[in-house]
């Protein structure tokens, strides 16, 4: 078990690999911690893997994982986390936009007793319309829905205790919600400002099309949160709404029973029946959702248990 | 474990089969020409007494054939999986139990595996009947949007691949046809090689209506499997919310004419259509949400990436 693992996903970052490696070493070496660096090559098409491999041959503390093809940033982070051997994990971008000089401050915060430390980019060096504004909206929305006001969910530079992050499901693009998920479960989260540099090499790989995905993911998180605290609330509420609509329509139909023609009765009663069917469907869908949640191997509450067991966290052993 | 065998040949006997002894002779010759050591594994998917008889006779004559008989019909994908589990070679060659590709092409196909993980044969030039060619064409037009690699003959059962592919890609039911698509999704390199079509493969084949329906379901399921396994809500969400939106707009319009133009609603059946669409939209969306909850709560068991190599 090492003290510290630094994880950076790389995708087509041939020019950035070496400067990134050197910057990390420069920042981490003075800390005198037993550390490792994990580069995850996300199926790059350029020479990223070759360059990283050459560096790894000279330095045994550098480990390189090579994906068979491009799987995306979150799977790359998940792979890094799965293979990390440190007690504290630090994730960062592989494109030199994060500054490794900030790492020591993250470790200080973890040593103060926080479980997750999120960076937020103080002076963000990105395009306003396509990057900054959508991310502002997303952060605001995520904060509102989950009740965890994280300033900058999109900043990759974060530090975690391994025991906490390992319990959080990380797939598709869920990395955005790590702090929210962890906080709901009772982890202590700190936020510190970090430096942010404009891209030197390569191109930005993200665009504007993510809003729809973020919204759906957010809905999922919201549903899961409601399952963990008040089961059935979500589906039950919707079901109640349709039942109400159904009964209202039915009441109108009965009130008009004597003075209306056959066709209008069909329309009113038909609507009532449809809404009634929806109410029943949603009730059972809610039950099914609970079943899936209960039998699944992940519960939000297990995260809280870990938090409790970690209250007596020791400081990482420093090498003499 | 060091294996002495280069190639494990798996022949699944599922529905269609030609003269077993003759075909075995052809295949054996093809493999001997390739100069690689090999083993034959026949997997009988259910009760094929006649085939078993012939195989027993061949074994009695001194041929080295491993025969696996499944207790009942399980589907070709299962037959292949069982065969792979019992194979000991590092390379697996699957051959159909009927003549599809000229056996003399086998050495060339095996040779093509250098530098990639899976070679699939493409029957070319096609000698099938016009009808079969149209069927195959339509199938691939529907199928190809799913995958990055454009396949031309995914129905061809002649495939060569490394054992690793079989170990990492799980298939079941009727998915054997889509093994290359799934393998490619896992990041394996695929190559399509043109091979001469067997003369006996040219007869006109018309399938039952049920078969066509099953093929359509296959395409639907592979589409879902490849695109949305991890994020089912994206698929159901777009379907559900568009139905909901149409229904909602209809209802909104009706509400408008009711309130401001005084048109009665009770005798307009379009109310039912609007409500039905809203109901359907909400239901599909709810199903997507359920699917997503299942994925989320099991996410720790699902690995989304495949690692090729680890240094240090």
The answer to the question of residue B162 being in a domain is yes
* Residue B29 φ then ψ, to 5°: -65, -45
* pLDDT bracket for residue B274 (50, 70, 90): very high
Percent of chain B at pLDDT exceeding 90 = 40
Q: What pLDDT score does A261 carry?
A: 63
Residue B13 is inside which H or E element, if any? strand B7-13
**Last residue of one domain, picked from the residues B196, B228, B260:** B228
Beta strands in B99-200 (DSSP E): 118-123, 159-162, 190-195
Contact status of B65 with chain A (Cβ, < 8 Å):
no
Q: What pLDDT score does A300 carry?
A: 57
User: Residue B239's domain spans which residues?
Assistant: 232-298
**Closest by Cα among A76, A68, A296 to B169:** A68
SS3 B189: coil
Angle at CA of residue B258, ends B254 and B261, nearest 5°: 115
CATH code (residue B168): 3.90.550.10
CB count in 10 Å sphere of residue A309: 10
| B100 and B245 co-located in one domain | no
Q: Where are the domains of chain A?
A: 2-226, 231-300
Tell me how far apart the alpha carbons of residues A147 and A156 are, in angstroms, rounded to a whole number.
Answer: 21
Residues of A in contact with B308 (CB under 8 A): 66-68
Q: What pairing do the DSSP bridges indicate for beta strands A116-121 and B7-13?
A: unpaired
CB contact under 8 A, A223 and B308: no
Nearest C-alpha of chain B: how many angstroms from A114?
24
Long-range pairs, B199-202, Cβ under 8 A, ≥24:
B199/B99, B199/B127, B200/B18, B200/B98, B200/B99, B201/B98, B201/B99, B201/B100, B201/B101, B201/B123, B201/B127, B201/B128, B202/B127, B202/B128, B202/B129
Token pair, residue B291, equals 């699917």
Tell me how far apart the alpha carbons of residues B168 and B150 are, in angstroms, rounded to a whole number.
Answer: 22
Contact status of B61 with chain A (Cβ, < 8 Å):
no
| B19 and B129 co-located in one domain | yes
CA–CA distance from A224 to each of B212, B285, B296 (Å)? 40, 15, 9
Q: What pLDDT score does A316 carry?
A: 40
* Residue A36 φ then ψ, to 5°: -140, 155
**Last residue of one domain, picked from the residues B228, B253, B288:** B228
Contact status of B259 with chain A (Cβ, < 8 Å):
no
Tell me how far apart the alpha carbons of residues B62 and B24 are, in angstroms, rounded to a whole number.
Answer: 13
Is residue B259 packed enough to be buried (19+ CB in 10 Å), middle (13-18) or exposed (0-12)? Answer: exposed
Section B279-297 average pLDDT: 90
B259, pLDDT greater than 80: yes
The answer to the question of residue B2 being in a domain is no
CB contact under 8 A, B312 and A263: no
Looking at residue B196, the DSSP 8-state letter turns out to be P
Structure pTM?
Answer: 0.77
SS3 B309: strand
Q: What pLDDT score does B86 carry?
A: 92
Residues of B in contact with A167 (CB under 8 A): 300
Is residue B71 packed enough to be buried (19+ CB in 10 Å), middle (13-18) or exposed (0-12)? Answer: exposed
CA–CA distance from A125 to each of A23, A173, B151, B155 (Å)? 19, 22, 43, 51
Q: What pLDDT score does A313 carry?
A: 41
| B188 and B273 co-located in one domain | no
| B111 and B163 co-located in one domain | yes
Q: Which residues lie below 8 Å from residue B2, measured CB to CB, with a gap of 6+?
A: none
* pLDDT bracket for residue B305 (50, 70, 90): confident
Of A224, A264, A295, the CB nearest to B296: A224
Of B275, B300, B311, the CB nearest to A298: B300
| Three-state SS annotation for A57-73 | HHCCCEEEEEECCCCCH
| Three-state SS annotation for chain A | CEEEEEEEEECCCHHHHHHHHHHHHHHHHHHCCCEEEEEEECCCCCCHHHHHHHHHHHCCCEEEEEECCCCCHHHHHHHHHHHCCEEEEEECCCCCCECHHHHHHHHHHHHCCCCEEEEEECCCCCCHHHHHHHHHHHHHHHHHHHCCCCCCCCCCCEEEEHHHHCCCCCCCCHHHHHHHHHHHCCCCEEEEEECECCCCCCCCCCCCCCHHHHHHHHHHHHHHHHHHHCCCHHHHHHHHHHHHHHHHHHHHHHHCCCCCCHHHHHHHHHHHHHHHHHHHHHHHHHHHHHHHHHHCCCCHHHHHHHHHHCCCCCCCCCCC
B59, pLDDT greater than 90: yes
Residues of A in contact with B276 (CB under 8 A): 274
| B35 and B178 co-located in one domain | yes
Contact status of B237 with chain A (Cβ, < 8 Å):
yes
| Per-residue model confidence as pLDDT tens digits over B119-142 | 999 988 888 888 888 888 888 888
**Closest by Cα among A80, A93, A241, A87 to A155:** A93
The answer to the question of residue B306 being in a domain is no
Per-residue pLDDT of chain A (320 residues; tens, 9 = 90+): 889 999 999 998 888 899 999 999 999 999 888 999 999 999 898 889 999 999 999 999 999 999 988 888 888 999 999 999 999 999 998 888 899 999 999 999 999 989 899 998 888 877 777 778 878 888 888 888 877 788 888 888 999 998 888 878 887 778 888 887 777 667 788 999 999 888 766 555 455 566 778 888 888 888 877 776 676 788 899 999 999 999 999 998 888 877 766 667 788 889 999 999 999 999 999 898 888 888 876 655 555 555 544 444 444 444 33
| B116 and B206 co-located in one domain | yes
| B265 and B214 co-located in one domain | no
Section B265-278 average pLDDT: 87
The count of structural domains within chain B is: 2
Tell me how far apart the alpha carbons of residues B190 and B205 are, in angstroms, rounded to a whole number.
Answer: 28
| B120 and B58 co-located in one domain | yes
Is residue B112 packed enough to be buried (19+ CB in 10 Å), middle (13-18) or exposed (0-12)? Answer: middle
Find out whether A318 and A242 touch, Cβ atoms under 8 Å. Answer: no
Q: What pLDDT score does A19 carry?
A: 93
CATH class of A2-226: alpha beta
Please compute, for residue B182, the number of CA atoms within 13 A of its CA located in the half-sphere on the CB side. 20
| B262 and B188 co-located in one domain | no
Distance of CA B35 to the CA centre of its chain: 30
Residues of B in contact with A226 (CB under 8 A): none
Angle at CA of residue A46, ends A40 and A47, nearest 5°: 70
Section B238-249 average pLDDT: 94
The answer to the question of residue B310 being in a domain is no
Tell me how far apart the alpha carbons of residues B28 and B34 are, in angstroms, rounded to a whole number.
Answer: 10
Q: What pairing do the DSSP bridges indicate for beta strands B65-69 and B118-123?
A: unpaired
Tell me how far apart the alpha carbons of residues B176 and B194 are, in angstroms, rounded to a whole number.
Answer: 20
| B102 and B245 co-located in one domain | no
Residues of B in contact with A275 (CB under 8 A): 275, 279
| B165 and B277 co-located in one domain | no
Tell me how far apart the alpha carbons of residues B218 and B228 are, in angstroms, rounded to a whole number.
Answer: 15
Q: What pLDDT score does B57 carry?
A: 93
Q: Which residues lie below 8 Å from residue B171, measured CB to CB, with a gap of 6+?
A: B77, B80, B81, B178, B179, B182
| B85 and B141 co-located in one domain | yes
Is residue B114 packed enough to be buried (19+ CB in 10 Å), middle (13-18) or exposed (0-12)? Answer: exposed
Tell me how far apart the alpha carbons of residues A230 and A226 are, in angstroms, rounded to a whole number.
Answer: 5
Of A67, A172, A293, the CB nearest to B293: A293
CB contact under 8 A, B293 and A63: no
CB contact under 8 A, A271 and B272: yes
Can you give the length of chain A in residues?
Answer: 320
The answer to the question of residue B308 being in a domain is no
Which of A181, A278, A299, A306 is the best substitution to test chain B (most B C-beta atoms within 10 A)?
Answer: A278
């Amino acid at each position: 078990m090492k003290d510290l693992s630094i994880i950076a996903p790389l995708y087509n970052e041939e020019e950035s690999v070496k400067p990134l490696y050197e910057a990390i070493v420069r920042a981490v070496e003075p800390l005198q911690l037993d550390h490792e660096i994990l580069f995850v090559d996300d199926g790059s098409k350029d020479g990223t893997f070759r360059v990283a491999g050459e560096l790894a041959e000279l330095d045994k503390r550098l480990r390189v994982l090579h994906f068979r093809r491009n799987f995306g940033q979150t799977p790359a982070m998940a792979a890094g986390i799965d293979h990390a051997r440190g007690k504290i994990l630090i994730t960062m971008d592989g494109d030199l936009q994060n500054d490794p000089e900030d790492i020591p401050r993250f470790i200080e915060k973890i040593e103060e007793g926080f479980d997750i430390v999120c960076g937020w980019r103080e002076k963000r060096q990105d395009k306003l319309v396509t990057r900054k504004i959508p991310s502002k909206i997303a952060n605001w929305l995520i904060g509102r829905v989950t009740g965890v006001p994280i300033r900058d969910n999109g900043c990759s530079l974060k530090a975690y205790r391994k025991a906490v992050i390992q319990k959080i499901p990380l797939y598709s693009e869920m990395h955005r919600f790590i702090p929210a998920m962890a906080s709901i479960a009772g982890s202590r989260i700190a936020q510190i400002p970090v430096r942010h540099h404009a891209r030197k090499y390569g191109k930005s790989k993200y665009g504007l099309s993510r809003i729809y995905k973020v919204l759906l993911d957010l809905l999922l998180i919201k549903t899961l949160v409601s399952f963990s605290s008040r089961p059935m609330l979500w589906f039950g509420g919707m079901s109640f709404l349709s039942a109400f609509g159904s009964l209202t329509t039915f009441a109108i139909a009965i009130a008009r029973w004597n003075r209306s023609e056959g066709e209008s009765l069909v329309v009113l009663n038909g609507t009532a029946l449809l809404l009634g069917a929806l109410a029943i469907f949603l009730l059972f869908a809610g039950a099914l959702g609970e079943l899936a949640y209960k039998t699944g191997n992940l519960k939000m509450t297990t995260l809280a248990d870990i938090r409790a067991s970690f209250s007596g966290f020791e400081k990482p052993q420093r090498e003499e | 474990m060091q294996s002495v065998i280069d190639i494990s040949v798996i022949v699944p006997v599922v529905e269609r089969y030609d003269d077993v002894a003759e075909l075995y002779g052809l295949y054996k010759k093809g493999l001997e020409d390739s100069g690689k050591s090999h083993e034959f594994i026949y997997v009988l998917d259910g009760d094929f007494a006649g085939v078993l008889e012939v195989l027993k006779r061949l074994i009695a004559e001194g041929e080295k054939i491993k025969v696996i008989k499944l207790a009942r019909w399980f589907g070709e994908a299962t037959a292949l999986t069982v065969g792979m589990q019992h194979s000991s070679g590092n390379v697996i060659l699957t051959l159909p139990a009927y003549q599809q590709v000229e056996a003399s092409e086998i050495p060339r196909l095996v040779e093509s595996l250098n530098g990639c993980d899976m070679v699939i044969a493409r029957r070319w030039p096609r000698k099938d009947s016009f009808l079969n060619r149209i069927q195959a064409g339509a199938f691939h037009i529907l199928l190809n949007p799913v995958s990055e690699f454009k396949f031309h003959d995914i129905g061809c059962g002649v495939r060569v691949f490394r054992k690793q592919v079989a170990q990492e890609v799980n298939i079941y039911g009727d998915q054997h046809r889509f093994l290359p698509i799934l393998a490619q999704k896992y990041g394996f390199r695929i190559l399509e090689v043109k091979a001469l079509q067997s003369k006996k493969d040219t007869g006109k084949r018309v399938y039952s209506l049920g078969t066509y329906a099953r093929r359509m379901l296959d395409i639907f399921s592979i589409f879902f499997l490849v695109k949305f396994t991890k994020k089912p809500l994206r698929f159901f969400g777009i379907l559900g919310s568009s139905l909901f939106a149409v229904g909602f707009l209809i209802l909104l319009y009706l509400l408008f004419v009711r309130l401001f133009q005084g048109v009665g609603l009770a005798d307009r059946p379009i109310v039912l259509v609007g409500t039905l669409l809203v109901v359907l939209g909400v239901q599909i969306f709810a199903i997507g949400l359920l699917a997503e909850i299942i994925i989320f709560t099991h996410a720790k068991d699902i690995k989304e990436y495949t690692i090729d190599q680890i240094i240090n």
